[in-house]
Amino acid sequence: MKISLVTVTFNSAKTLCDTIHSVLSQSYTDIEYIIVDGLSNDETVTLIKEYEPLFQGRLKWISEKDKGLYDAMNKGIRMSTGDIVGIINSDDFYHRGDVLEKVAESFEVGETEAIYGDVRFVNPDNLDRTVRYYSSKRFVPSLFRFGFMPAHPTFFTYRKYFDQFGYYKTNYKIAADYELLVRFLYVHRLKSKYLPLDFMKMRTGGASTASIKSNILLNEEIVRACKENGIWTCYPLLLLKYLVKGARIISLTGEQGCGKTTMLMGMIENIYETMNIRVQETAFELHLRKIYPTRNILSFRETDTISGQQGLDVQKKTDGSVNIIRRSCN
């Protein structure tokens, strides 16, 4: 079973070495590596030529103008001749040598049509420092409406499905990967399998996480992707993914009686039931433990002797997945 890997590059000389080395280090050797360069003006092409002999005929590459990231990905997939196709970005790298071996084994068992796994986001200045771990373990297609998706760089599927179901849509700027996964896993119901494997390390600072503006565009395109594929969603539901992610804050503001608590309760109702919820209030008003007696919820209250910061310190010592801080208006 041949696996085709596609990497898109543009002025990627600073990081491409790690990507190429990680592909070369794989124990599974029935691979085809395709690099699609967008006419880089740094040393990217020089590096590709330097490493080309080490692949012993298993590397294909082109360097030409493209219409953006997703157009370049489509070029690479069309160039591929493998049974299975996967994407590895030019600033990401496999940090273990058995990833492709595990991928191949997974497709050989049962009727698996697609697989995905986990990734580590690392500090670009210290690749040994993990800043966030993205697990696809709890993903099910019904979570697309909340903006959740399996880690795209860990997604592998059969080459033939791109011809059958379509390629990345190039009229998306930032979320064509999300739209493609919706199409493959939700609309066409590919039999997917979660592989409990830490696939790769990803440097932080990608296009979809770079700024507030990028996040706004991302959510706009997620809503559009859901609508185009028959999934109902709305912006408040998409806020849930920020509650679940660490190091994110959502602020619900407005005049008294405008519906802040109603919106918050609606969001909590839709949080995945396996997520542990931690709530800190200035006064007990939500009463979530009474509403959801079977869920793992801890509530904290500030008092005259226990400050808000002390409450936060306690929260940090628990295993909360979702942390909510609610302050009452006087």
CATH number (domain holding residue 208): 3.90.550.10
Tell me how many domains the chain contains.
2
Please check whether residues 85 and 181 belong to one and the same domain.
yes
Mean pLDDT computed over every residue of the chain: 88
Please check whether residue 242 lies inside any domain of the structure.
Answer: no
Q: From 166, 196, 228, give the residue that closes a domain.
A: 228
Asked if the structure places residue 310 within a domain, the reply is: yes
Say yes or no: 223 and 254 in one domain.
Answer: no
- Statement to judge: residues 255 and 115 lie in one domain: no
Tokens of 204: 């932080």
* Mean pLDDT value across residues 44-67: 97
Q: Which pLDDT belongs to residue 329?
A: 56
Global pTM value: 0.78
Domain end call among 198, 228, 258 = 228
Domain-embedded: residue 74:
yes
pLDDT score of 248 more than 60: no
Name the residue among 144, 216, 151, 213 with its Cα closest to residue 183: 144
Based on the fold, state whether residues 38 and 162 are members of the same structural domain: yes
In this prediction, residue 211 carries a pLDDT of 66
Burial class (CB in 10 A: 0-12, 13-18, 19+), 122: buried
User: Is residue 299, in this structure, part of any structural domain at all?
Assistant: yes
The proportion of the chain whose per-residue pLDDT surpasses 90, expressed as a percent, equals 62
Q: Are residues 188 and 267 in the same domain?
A: no
User: Which of 325, 292, 323, 322 is CA-nearest to residue 138?
Assistant: 322
In the numeric block, which tokens belong to residue 29?
């050797």
Is 237 a domain residue?
Answer: no
195-227 per-position pLDDT tens digit: 999 999 999 875 555 567 888 899 999 999 999
Does pLDDT of 96 surpass 80? yes
Q: How far apart are CA 115 and CA 96, in angstroms?
A: 18
The amino acid occupying position 101 is: E
Q: Examine the pLDDT at 87 and tell me if it is beyond 80.
A: yes
Judgement on whether residues 105 and 199 belong to the same structural domain of the protein: yes
| Contact criterion met (CB below 8 Å) for 100 and 28 | yes
* Residue 138: burial class (beta carbons within 10 Å; 0-12, 13-18, 19+): middle
Q: Which domain holds residue 274?
A: 249-326
- Across the range 263-275, mean pLDDT stands at 70
- Say yes or no: 209 and 263 in one domain: no
Query: Which pLDDT band holds residue 261 (cuts at 50, 70, 90)?
Result: confident
Residue 70 domain flag:
yes
Q: Are residues 32 and 141 in the same domain?
A: yes
- Residue 243 included in any domain: no
pLDDT tier, 328 (very low <50, low <70, confident <90, very high otherwise): low
Q: What is the pLDDT, as a whole number, of residue 327?
A: 66
282: helix, strand or coil: coil
Same domain, residue pair 105 and 169? yes
User: The tokens of 80 are what?
Assistant: 């591929």
Q: Identify the pLDDT of residue 250.
A: 58
Residue-level pLDDT at 317: 74
Distance CA 294, CA 273 (A): 9
Higher pLDDT, 132 or 172: 172
Residues 219 and 264 reside in one and the same domain: no
Token output for 73: 């990905």
Helix (H, G, I), strand (E, B) or coil at 322: strand
**What mean pLDDT do residues 174-178 have?**
97
Start-end of H helices in the chain = 13-24, 44-51, 69-79, 99-108, 160-165, 176-181, 212-228, 235-238, 240-244, 260-269, 288-291, 308-316
Tokens 């696996």 appear where?
3
185 and 272 together in one domain: no
Residue 36 has what DSSP assignment?
A: E
288 within some domain = yes
Asked if residue 259 and residue 224 are part of one domain, the reply reads no
Tell me the mean pLDDT in the region 261-265: 75
Q: Which residues of 249-265 are buried (b: 16+ CB within 10 A; e: fewer)?
A: eeeeeeeeeeebeeebe
End-to-end alpha carbon distance in the chain: 66
Is the model's pLDDT at 120 over the cut of 70? yes
Assign 247 a pLDDT band (cuts: 50, 70, 90): very low
231/179 Cα distance (integer angstroms): 11
Q: Is the separation of the CB atoms in 285 and 330 below 8 Å?
A: no
Among 41-45, 201-205, 290-294, top mean pLDDT goes to: 41-45
Q: 172 pLDDT exceeds 60?
A: yes
Among 172, 198, 228, where does a domain finish? Answer: 228
